[in-house]
Structure 1
Amino acid sequence: MGHKVLGLEVSGKEIKTALVRNGARPQVLHCGAYPIPFLRGEGIADDENEIGSVLLSLKDIFKQNKALAGADAVSICVTDPQTVVRFMKLNAFSRKEQKAAVEYEISQSFPGVTRTHAISFKEYSRTKTEVTGIVSFAPKKNLEGYRKLLEELPFKHQAVDVVANADEKAFRTFASQLTKDETVLICNIKSASTYFTIISGGRVLQSRQIPEGRRQTADAICMALSCTPSDFEKMCMENSPESARLAEMAETGYRYIEEQLRQTIDFFSSEQQQAVGCVYLAGDGSIFPNLATHFTESIGVQTKLMVPKSDVKADKTMFLKTFSVLGAAVRED
């Protein structure tokens, strides 16, 4: 991949961007979010009009920030709800035989998946007897919109990433961590979905997605307080008179996310006999007053708002919003 990589995520009626200078110590050069109210779903649909509108929006973004257009490569983060990410252990086949071995393994749980899905495997470790890594797969038809968008973008080098892998890279590369080598869970609350990714030692051990995010709670709060989305954003980020009420509403609105977070931790701890040491919140929906404190008290695991390392030049709020796309722009190939 090229030296400067442009990360893109099209979801939640926004285009999120990041420009990262890759190398031994990747450096954040830019991160931002731009509204695209015409987007109907959470990802890019295989629709000529929608793809064309996204391209026009990107053209305007590139005019505003010419450095983005000058990137050597582009990496797009897929937010398709049917994407699956699984940790996998395999017998140590040769790399030529590995693809067939991965496909055979996932076919045992998902018959016919090799015909309908695009499949990717990332290797973590290899010994004489065993290979570990993560396998990601998504319906080919759901990726058509992404493929067609990439075809139209003026970047020679292109890549596709998934949220779990992108979040692990962003955490390892740019986030301030309480304790090194601890097993942690990243709770990334996006617009209409929430991703739970458990990582340890730079490896994704478990990942799942639920169809509940920030938008449902934000819409309910805007209606209850008779405020605009813009006013709501300001209230979330400032110590406003409504902070206490916002916190209470978020606790109510996020009950399903809270319960699924608890279940994810309990299942992992029971199955792996390994505790989750800390939960880190990221994403648009993490920006609520006292949310980390509430989760700490309710699930019994220390919960912190994700913050960038001291040497990462990124606004703290934008860092949370663009967390996945920052990771997508970190390339290891």
Structure 2
Amino acid sequence: MTVGQISSAQGGTDTAKAADRPAAANRPRISMNARRQRAFYMFTSPWIIGFLLLTIAPMAYALWLSFTTFDGISPHWRYVGLDNYRELLSDSVTWDALGRTGLFAITSVPLSIIGGLGLAVLVNRPLKARGLFRTLLYLPAVVPPVGAGIAFKQLFDTNSGATNGALNIFGFDALGWLADPYARYVLLMVVLWGAGNIMIISLAGLQDVPRELHEAARIDGASAWRTFRSITVPLLSPVLLFQTVTGVIASVQTIMPLLLSADATTAGVTAIPQSNYQYMMHVFAQYFAVGRYGYASALLWVLFVLILVATGLIFRFSSGVVFYNVDPEAKK
């Protein structure tokens, strides 16, 4: 190739590059904010898709079912509008179950929070083998609900339970722990047995309390109880609020311990002690014992609305007693 041909080829290449430059310059540039948003939606898309398919879609389907007489099997069903909701409002069994659920929530949530906070205060002290105690107290919280329910059922069995065996040793008569009126207390024990989860959250909140405040209170002559009540609890109020909201939501949806509390000698939902026949048990009975999918779906949607109302009321009445430890500079 001659010098002229090389120069001509290089000139053609430069001309092609120059022709491509305007096209590249006209391409829209993606800002850093847009790239971050794209990365955010790309990484969260599995959760978003799962939330839409596994949460929103079933809720929408249940809402549609609540307006029908569908029984889960027969293709012969009809649209009944608000009849299921009207029947719900006049159903005394539903209201009784709702009352027991509310009583259970009012009882179990404060006891769980107080018990978990008490354990957190104990294991937050400079003790020997503190890590071992924390592990042992937290272990019950990781036991599956089915395993915990079966263990307590065996423990409080009327004929072969260890609890009645201990009572017999001391000369007391055996009690029907899994029947009324003792079944409700066994249920509370099952819930309180897993207070290690609340202990861990409370422990994290306790370790976030500035030590300088405790030292200043000690110098001023404040007692340990006054320091705990006036400093620790107010700074833990956001944690306590979180535990209250999640505890209420979990307590009104309790069902596995209730199912496992049934007497082994009988079958069906009627084996559940009356004191433990709560709202979710009533929903379970309408779904699987009676086959009224439409009515049971209406029950679930009413429970969903009640949870929203209860959560809103908790936030409303806690606004004056919850204190957030925010740096003043962060507010600017």
TM-score category (smaller protein): under 0.3
Higher relative contact order (CA 8 A, sep 6+): 2
> Per residue, is there more strand in 1 or in 2?
1
Structure (1/2) with the larger helix percentage: 2
TM-score calculated relative to the size of structure 2: 0.25
Greater Rg by CA? 2
TM-score, normalisation: structure 1: 0.25
